[in-house]
């Protein structure tokens, strides 16, 4: 599903990603662990082409990452990422936060998106929080909302 071959990324003199070789199969769950500043977020951002790499190749389903345009938009619609700041909309409920992209990006009807969102919230243990606003949740709960989203 995701393959990185010889991926390198520098921030000035700091060589953050050094010849990364990584293969992740479809349905496989991988955890990237390391100290602050070791390149974990940079690695994830590179897969979504939010961070350009200097050398190497990143393949999704055997194809190189699209450079820009509709292909890149499709990639970003299919590759989920939870940022360290969750960017939940403070003026929307938990359910609305989870449903929004399904409606706007996937074109789902609100009822269908809400039903799927409720199932996702159930999976992360927050079904009972659907009608609350982000400010009413703990940081960990907000993170789980972002994961469900």
What are the pLDDT digits (tens) for 84-131?
667 899 999 999 999 999 999 889 999 999 999 999 999 999 999 999
What are the pLDDT digits (tens) for 60-79?
888 888 777 787 777 777 66
What are the pLDDT digits (tens) for 6-26?
999 998 888 999 999 999 998
Query: Looking at the domain that runs over 2-78, which CATH code has it been given?
Result: 3.40.50.300
Place of tokens 């992740």: 24
The model's pTM is: 0.56
The C-alpha R_g of the chain, in whole angstroms, comes to: 17
Q: What b/e sequence results for 103-132 when a residue is b if at least 16 CB atoms lie within 10 Å of its CB, and e otherwise? A: beeeebeeeebbebbbebbeebebbebbee
Give the mean pLDDT of 29-35: 81
Annotated domain spans of the chain: 2-78, 94-148
């Amino acid at each position: 599903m995701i393959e990185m071959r010889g991926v390198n990324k520098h921030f000035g003199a700091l060589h953050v990603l050094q010849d990364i070789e990584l293969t992740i199969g479809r349905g496989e769950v991988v955890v990237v662990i390391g100290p602050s500043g070791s390149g974990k977020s940079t690695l994830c951002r590179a897969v979504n082409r939010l961070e350009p790499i200097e050398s190497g190749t990143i393949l999704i389903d055997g194809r190189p990452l699209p450079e820009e345009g509709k292909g890149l938009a499709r990639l970003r619609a299919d590759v989920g990422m939870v940022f360290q700041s969750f960017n939940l909309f403070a003026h929307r409920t938990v359910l609305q936060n989870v449903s929004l992209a399904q409606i706007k990006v996937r074109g789902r009807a609100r009822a269908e998106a809400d039903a799927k969102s409720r199932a996702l919230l159930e999976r992360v243990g927050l079904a009972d929080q659907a009608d609350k606003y982000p400010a009413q949740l703990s940081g960990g709960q907000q993170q789980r909302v972002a994961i469900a989203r």
